[in-house]
């Protein structure tokens, strides 16, 4: 596999300046939006086939979010791409200073399989809005969606502007031998690390949207019933295969009984007595992940659910209790419909359980107490967080979405996505009518005068 040729063609297209005008970018975003409408049926069918997403779920969590990202970008493009004035230090005066967002050039985008349309197309929206060319590689583990996304891209964009490459690890590795100007990767921490190592060879900047275990803390003063409902929603969406799904729950022993009862009640309310029959409940992506997840079912007491069927890749929404913190299900990212619930006595013990864990992509806290909220947010770092909810902080374009440390670096969504694909170039334009001589050699100032002057000259 040799991708040198078309990367070169994309770079030539970028260097022609074609992607710079805002009108061009807007037109391409609108073309993508129209293509999403035209390709809606094959995309929805592919998502149903790959992950058993109902058309409603697929639209709400995939296509609808991409359309929202497009609308937001089209509306905000002028503001995001405008030069931002900055003050100039006296040393350089008279002059004007500003920051100009510049497209990087040719961007490489990798997508995961869990939201296989949204998580490749939403970053593409940001890449186009910022004026880049893009090579897009959807996940091979959602093969029908990968095919449908590639078909949409082929039909909508000239190859020298945006193109799709399908395939697995070998294709990804071959792509990474080329020099790109930006890499945007969404996937696992393990692969993210090797993507960053490959990017280092060309000193290509990266955004890494990775995974990990998202802890959820339910305090004694939480609104227990509501907490359970919101946790069940965030956890079992897409059968738990969501990077920001609550991975495990720590619940204060004082409320653990009503909390677990409320979890069970809400699971039944959402998915019925047999989730297999629910149109709103997904399937595990493949046999390997099914086997991995089924292995966790013995890591605690099955309090609810536990039913599973390899032929259908079905695992019922499951609550595990009596789980040892050193069990595998508490060490690895679950990424499936199994929710371990561990008890703690008082906030101090909960914080002790969380300290030293790898920094999570999201942290969820259920409490009515602002002092508890401040303390937990201050003591437990994470990429993002919700108080009294799950997942919602990543919906909408206003909040940057990203991880920290092992859960990622950089951010996406809305303006943050635009910035992920832009270089902030600092520019100073000096006036011609005055040229203060003091900076030029031979230097006549004494050191004492210089010291006094620098305080003034470097301020603005
Ligand atoms: P993955 O890392 O296995 O694959 C992601 C992408 O990388 C795929 O396109 C894959 O083909 C490609 N890839 C595979 N091997 C590669 C290699 N050697 N070099 C370069 N690329 C390679 O991840 P996945 O299993 O598709 O997704 C699940 C993970 O993604 C979970 O950890 C989840 O938490 C995380 N995730 C994170 C976010 C986020 O926004 N932070 C969103 C969704 C999923």
Q: How far apart are CA 116 and CA 343, in angstroms?
A: 35
* Structure tokens that stand for 192 in this block: 């993210």
Percentage of residues of the chain with pLDDT beyond 70: 100
| Residue 324 banded pLDDT, cuts 50, 70, 90 | very high
Q: What is the mean pLDDT of the chain?
A: 96
Cα 84 → chain centroid = 26
Q: What are the Cα distances from residue 80, in Å, to 77, 112, 150, 212, 301?
A: 5, 27, 28, 31, 51
Q: Is 111 in the pocket of ligand 1 (CB under 6 A)?
A: yes
The number of the ligand 1 atom at minimal distance from the alpha carbon of 333 is: 32
Q: What is the mean pLDDT of residues 399-420?
A: 98
Query: Considering the chain, what percentage of its residues have pLDDT values greater than 90?
Result: 93
Q: Is the CB of 114 under 6 A from ligand 1?
A: yes
Distance 437 CA to ligand 1 centre (A): 57
pLDDT band at 397 (very low <50, low <70, confident <90, very high): confident
243 is catalytic: yes
- Would you state the structure tokens that stand for residue 137, as one six-digit string? 């590689």
> What are the tens digits of pLDDT across the range 80-125?
999 999 999 998 999 999 999 999 999 999 999 999 999 999 999 9
| Mean pLDDT on 304-309 | 98
Most informative mutation of 191, 212, 214 for ligand 1 (most atoms within 8 A of CB)? 191
Task: Name the 3-class secondary structure at 454.
Answer: helix
Q: Is the pLDDT of residue 458 over 90?
A: no
Residue 455 has pLDDT above 80, yes or no: yes
Distance (angstroms) between ligand 1 centre and the Cα of 297 equals 24
- Measured in Å, residue 93 CA sits from the centre of ligand 1 at 49
Cβ 214 under 6 angstroms from ligand 1? no
- Does ligand 1 have an atom closer than 6 angstroms to the CB of 126? no
CA-to-CA dists, residue 412 to 69, 137, 144, 408, angstroms? 11, 17, 25, 11
- Using the mean position of ligand 1's atoms as its centre, give its distance from the Cα of residue 372 in Å: 34
Residue 439 is predicted with a pLDDT of 87
Give kind and range of the element (H or E) at residue 51.
helix 40-51
1 pLDDT more than 80: no
Report the interhelical angle of 118-129 vs 64-81 (nearest 10°): 20
Sheet bearing 338-344, strands edge to edge: 301-304, 318-321, 338-344, 246-252, 214-218, 360-366, 382-387
Average pLDDT over residues 261-272: 98
320 - beta bridge partners? 302, 340
Cβ of 113 less than 6 Å from ligand 1: yes
Q: For position 386, what pLDDT does the model report?
A: 98
Which is the catalytic residue, given 243, 303, 333, 343? 243
pLDDT of residue 236: 98
The helix-helix angle for 22-38 and 64-81 (nearest 10°) equals 180
**How would you class 171 by CB atoms within 10 Å of its CB: exposed for 0-12, middle for 13-18, buried for 19 or more?**
middle
Distance CA 233, CA 254 (A): 23
What pLDDT is recorded for position 292?
98
pLDDT at position 383 is 98
- pLDDT over 90 (residue 369): yes
- What residue owns the CA closest to ligand 1's atom 26? 112
Domains in the chain (CATH in brackets) are 4-210+410-423 (3.40.605.10), 215-398 (3.40.309.10)
Average pLDDT over residues 342-355: 95
Read off the pLDDT band of 2 (50, 70, 90): confident
Distance (angstroms) between ligand 1 centre and the Cα of 114 equals 9
Does ligand 1 come within 6 angstroms of the Cβ of 168?
A: yes
Buried-exposed string 52-78: b where 16+ CB fall within 10 A, e elsewhere: bbbbebbbebbbebbbbbbebbbeebe
Known catalytic residue: 160? no
Return the number of other C-beta atoms located less than 10 Å from residue 352's C-beta: 11
Q: What is the pTM of this model?
A: 0.97
Pairing of strands 246-252, 338-344: parallel
Integer CA distances (angstroms), 67 to 1, 13, 58, in order: 33, 26, 13
Catalytic residue chosen out of the listed positions 62, 69, 209, 303: 209
Residue pLDDT, tens place only, 198-208:
999 999 999 99
Nearest ligand 1 atom, CA 190 = 2
Asked if residue 65 has pLDDT above 90, the reply is: yes
pLDDT, position 426: 98
Query: What's the average model confidence in pLDDT over 234-249?
Result: 98
Pairing verdict, β 206-209 and 84-86? unpaired
Name the DSSP class of 100: E
Q: Is the CB of 403 under 6 A from ligand 1?
A: yes
Locate the ligand 1 atom nearest the alpha carbon of residue 169 and give its number: 15
Question: How close is the Cα of 190 to the center of ligand 1, in Å?
Answer: 8
Q: So what's the pLDDT on residue 249?
A: 98
């Amino acid at each position: 596999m040799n991708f040198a040729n078309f990367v070169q063609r994309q770079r030539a297209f970028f260097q022609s300046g074609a992607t710079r005008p805002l009108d061009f970018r807007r037109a391409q975003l609108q073309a993508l939006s129209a293509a999403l409408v035209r390709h809606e049926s094959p995309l929805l069918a592919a998502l149903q086939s790959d992950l058993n997403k109902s058309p409603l779920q697929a639209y709400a969590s995939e296509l609808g979010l991409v359309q929202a990202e497009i609308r937001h970008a089209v509306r905000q493009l002028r503001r995001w791409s405008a030069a931002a004035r900055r003050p100039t230090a006296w040393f350089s005066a008279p002059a004007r200073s500003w920051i100009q967002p510049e497209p990087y050039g040719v961007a490489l985008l990798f997508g995961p399989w869990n939201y296989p349309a949204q998580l490749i197309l939403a970053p593409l929206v940001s890449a186009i809005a910022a004026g880049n060319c893009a090579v897009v590689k959807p996940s091979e583990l959602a093969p029908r969606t990968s095919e449908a996304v590639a078909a949409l891209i082929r039909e909508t964009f000239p190859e020298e502007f945006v193109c799709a490459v399908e395939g697995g690890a070998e294709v990804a590795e071959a792509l990474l031998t080329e020099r790109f100007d930006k890499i945007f990767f969404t996937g696992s921490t393990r692969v993210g690390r090797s993507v960053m190592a490959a990017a280092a060879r060309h000193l290509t900047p990266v955004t890494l949207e990775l995974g990990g275990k998202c802890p959820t803390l339910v305090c004694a003063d939480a609104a227990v019933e509501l907490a359970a409902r919101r946790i069940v929603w965030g956890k079992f969406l897409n059968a738990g295969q969501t990077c920001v799904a609550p991975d495990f729950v720590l619940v204060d022993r004082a409320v653990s009984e009503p909390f677990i009862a409320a979890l069970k009640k809400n699971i039944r309310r959402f998915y019925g007595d047999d989730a297999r029959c629910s149109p709103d409940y997904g399937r595990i992506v493949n046999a390997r992940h099914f086997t991995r997840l089924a292995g966790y079912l013995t890591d605690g007491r099955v309090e609810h659910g536990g039913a599973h069927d390899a032929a259908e890749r079905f695992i019922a929404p499951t609550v595990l209790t009596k789980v040892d913190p050193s069990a595998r299900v508490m060490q690895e990212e679950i990424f499936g419909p199994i929710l371990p619930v561990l008890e703690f006595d008082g906030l101090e013990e909960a914080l002790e359980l969380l300290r030293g864990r790898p920094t999570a992509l999201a942290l969820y806290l259920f409490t009515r107490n602002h002092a508890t909220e401040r303390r937990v947010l201050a003591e437990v770092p994470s990429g993002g967080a919700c108080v009294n909810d799950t997942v919602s902080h990543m919906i909408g374009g206003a909040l940057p979405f990203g991880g920290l440390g092992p859960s990622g670096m950089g951010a996406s969504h809305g303006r943050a996505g635009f910035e992920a694909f832009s270089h902030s170039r600092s520019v100073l334009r000096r006036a011609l009518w005055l040229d203060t001589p003091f900076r030029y050699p031979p230097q006549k100032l004494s050191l004492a005068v210089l010291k006094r002057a620098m305080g003034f000259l470097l301020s603005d």
